[in-house]
């Protein structure tokens, strides 16, 4: 057995306000046979010094300093360095439950899983976590069963798209991650394409219905609150995923992926600054045109299919109206 059970990859950029809480939550993990790979992505605040100080205290911590190349590049560096049997990701402004790695690793070994996925909380701070009670795990993905997403008879519902698309609530078998989980570099919103690709090729996926990851929603520096111009990176990421449909067998998981893509585009169209809305709409039409050309529109839920047809064949103002529905 590998001496390092899990390699945890933490990309860091100017998160001095939160980084101590993040690292301390990893140092407090019940599973101790871990390595914590911190990729300092050109931070200009005190993060570099803070991370180096933690490395001096804890031999499990490895810190890599590099020029700012965005989160995708940082994660790829971490994957290449990882020596663990499994790989996990934690964003530097988030934190995790002490059982985060133990519970997922134990289930991974017990079930010989390629990927283990846990539930999560959206939270502004520790004091507000208790207010969140509703499970974000889809009912179709039943607790502790083995899944192959390509073969699911019934697709997970749309509301679970975000939890499926991110990398930070999952444990990936290292051999799988090193082969398939390569992130697009220099882009924002980079998770969905590589994560969906890896979920599609995985044969054994386990879901545990425990809220073990705490996703902070109050960090103004995160991509959730990013400058609106960054939203245009979505088109590059979606083109990567469209290319992956040709390279890999997504099976029934393709329908879920397509619905997630359309939903994500409409969500960002609705919230983008009005000065960029028309430009975003024109780029979105190009993506939807690819859907049409490849006959993917038939796999999209009716409500999104109607909006897609309106975007393609009618005016910007009509689509703007229908997108709100």
Average pLDDT over residues 155-166: 87
> Residue 224: which pLDDT band, with cuts at 50, 70 and 90?
low
Q: Which of 11, 1, 8, 12 is nearest to 28 (CA)?
A: 8
- CB neighbour list of residue 277: distance below 8 Å, 6 or more residues apart: 269, 320
- List the structure tokens of 284: 């979105």
Average pLDDT over residues 168-193: 96
What is the rounded (10 degree) CA torsion for 150, 152, 157, 158?
A: 10
Q: Residue for token digits 């290319």?
A: 243
**Is a pLDDT exceeding 70 seen at residue 219?**
no
Contact 102, 76 (CB under 8 A): no
- Counting residues of the chain whose pLDDT is more than 90, the rounded percentage is 82
Q: What is the mean pLDDT of the chain?
A: 92
Q: Which H/E stretch holds residue 131?
A: none
Cα angle, residue 323 at apex, residues 317 and 325 outer, rounded to 5°: 120
DSSP of 26-50: HHT-S--SEEEEEEEES--SSHHHH
Domain boundaries, the chain: 6-225, 228-322
Contact 190, 81 (CB under 8 A): no
> Residue 222: which pLDDT band, with cuts at 50, 70 and 90?
low
> Residue 153: which pLDDT band, with cuts at 50, 70 and 90?
confident
Radius of gyration, CA atoms only, the chain: 20
> Residue 226: which pLDDT band, with cuts at 50, 70 and 90?
low
Instruction: Please report the pLDDT score of residue 259 as a whole number.
Output: 94
**Is a pLDDT exceeding 90 seen at residue 139?**
no
Instruction: Please report the pLDDT score of residue 223 as a whole number.
Output: 54
Question: Greater confidence, 37 or 137?
Answer: 37
Residues 6-225: name the CATH superfamily: Spore Coat Polysaccharide Biosynthesis Protein SpsA; Chain A (3.90.550.10)
Q: Residue for token digits 């619905």?
A: 259
Contact 211, 217 (CB under 8 A): no
- List the structure tokens of 214: 């705490």
> Residue 129: which pLDDT band, with cuts at 50, 70 and 90?
low
Average pLDDT over residues 306-318: 91
Q: Between the CA of residue 76 and those of 20, 64, 166, 177, 194, what are the distances in Å?
A: 23, 12, 15, 10, 11
**Is a pLDDT exceeding 60 seen at residue 261?**
yes
Model pTM score = 0.93
**Is a pLDDT exceeding 80 seen at residue 202?**
yes
Rounded (to 5) percent helix, strand, coil in the chain: 50, 15, 35
What does the alpha-carbon distance between residue 62 and residue 40 come to, in Å, rounded to a whole number?
10
**Is a pLDDT exceeding 60 seen at residue 1?**
no
DSSP state at residue 230:
G
> Residue 232: which pLDDT band, with cuts at 50, 70 and 90?
very high
What does the alpha-carbon distance between residue 96 and residue 213 come to, in Å, rounded to a whole number?
5
CB atoms within 10 A of CB 314: 12
């Amino acid at each position: 057995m590998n001496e390092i059970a899990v390699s945890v990859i933490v990309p860091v950029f100017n998160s001095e306000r939160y980084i101590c809480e993040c690292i301390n939550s990893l140092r407090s993990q019940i599973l101790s046979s871990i390595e914590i790979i911190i990729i300092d992505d050109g931070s200009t605040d005190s993060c570099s010094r803070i991370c180096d100080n933690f490395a001096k205290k804890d031999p499990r911590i490895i810190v890599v300093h590099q020029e700012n190349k965005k989160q995708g590049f940082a994660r790829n560096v971490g994957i290449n360095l990882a020596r663990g049997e499994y790989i996990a990701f934690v964003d530097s402004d988030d934190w995790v439950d002490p059982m985060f790695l133990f519970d997922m690793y134990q289930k991974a070994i017990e079930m010989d899983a390629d990927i283990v996925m846990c539930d999560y909380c959206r939270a502004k701070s520790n004091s507000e976590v208790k207010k969140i009670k509703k499970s974000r795990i889809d009912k179709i993905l039943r607790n502790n069963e083995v899944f192959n997403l390509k073969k699911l008879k019934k697709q997970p519902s749309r509301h679970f798209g975000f939890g499926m698309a991110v990398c930070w609530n999952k444990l990936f078998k290292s051999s799988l991650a090193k082969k398939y989980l390569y992130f697009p570099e220099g882009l924002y919103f980079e998770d969905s394409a590589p994560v969906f690709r890896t979920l599609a090729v995985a044969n054994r996926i386990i879901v545990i219905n425990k809220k073990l990851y705490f996703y902070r929603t109050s960090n103004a520096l995160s991509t959730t609150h990013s400058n609106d111009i960054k939203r245009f990176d979505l088109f590059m990421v979606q083109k990567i995923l469209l290319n992956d449909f040709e390279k890999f067998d997504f099976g029934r998981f393709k329908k879920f992926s397509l619905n997630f893509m359309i939903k994500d585009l409409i969500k960002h169209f609705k919230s983008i600054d009005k000065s960029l809305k028309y430009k975003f709409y024109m780029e979105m039409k190009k993506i939807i045109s690819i859907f049409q050309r490849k006959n993917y529109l038939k796999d999209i839920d009716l409500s999104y299919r109607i909006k897609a047809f309106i975007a393609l064949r009618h005016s910007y103002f009509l689509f703007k109206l229908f997108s709100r529905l």
